[in-house]
Homo-oligomer: A and B are copies of this chain.
Amino acid sequence: MARNAHPEATRQRILDAARKLFAKHGYERTSIQDIINELGDLSKGAIYHHFPNKAAILDALTEADTAQVNAALPLDDDSLSGLQKIRHWMLATVANREHMLLLRDAFPLLNDPKMLSENLKYWRTTNASMFRQCIEDGIKDGSISTQYPREASELLALLSNYWLAPMFYPATAAELKHRVRCLLTMLAAIGLPLFDLDSPEVNTLAEGIALLGAEPEHRTEP
């Protein structure tokens, strides 16, 4: 008897079941046993064959999720200017409530120094490059005029992922709004006018980011 003819399919089924349960009950309240029960036909051993622990499932989910969110970005949409691409990107990310809650649940993984160090590297390199592409597009199409394309890209990636995150810099919703305004003011000063300080987008961003600091209890329905 073949052990498992479709390991990738099994892995994906585990992820799908976990995503459903995490979304419904929250990460903390979901156990590996719950995932087994949800799947119905897999043993605990089969799950541990794919993932060493529950945290690894969450990590794989957020990775897949980030890849999916990034793939949906309008980076290649020629109907948008470079500046509009960054605006859409930021708004689309925070508007994706399920993604933000998954990120929120994944944040405690960053207490692990190795995971944090890998994320910082991702923000310094890959993530900064994606912003850089939008900024270069914006410089070409005239929507952005900055002397600091590289610096703005690095700071967008670092500050939006790390400094805005209430897990690292604890903040109330009102404090997050102030922090977003501060970031927008600084970016405008170096030639990247993303949103007006009084625009509704400031609230959208702050409220989306606040989800990252929300207590898991607030969303769980028993």
Contacts and interface: CB of A to CB of B under 8 A. Distances in A.
Nearest to A155: B163
A154 B178 contact: no
A42 B178 CA distance: 57
A189 B190 CA distance: 9
Interface in A86-128: 113-114, 116-117, 120, 124
A168 interface: yes
Contacts of A159: 155
The 9 closest A-B pairs by CB, nearest first: A189-B189, A113-B113, A113-B117, A186-B186, A151-B182, A113-B114, A148-B182, A116-B117, A185-B189
Interface of A: 113-114, 116-117, 120, 124, 147-148, 150-152, 154-155, 158-159, 162-163, 168-169, 175, 178-179, 182, 185-190
Given A113-B116, A186-B190, 15 more contacts: A113-B114, A116-B116, A116-B117, A117-B117, A120-B168, A124-B168, A124-B169, A147-B178, A148-B182, A151-B179, A152-B182, A154-B163, A155-B186, A158-B162, A158-B163
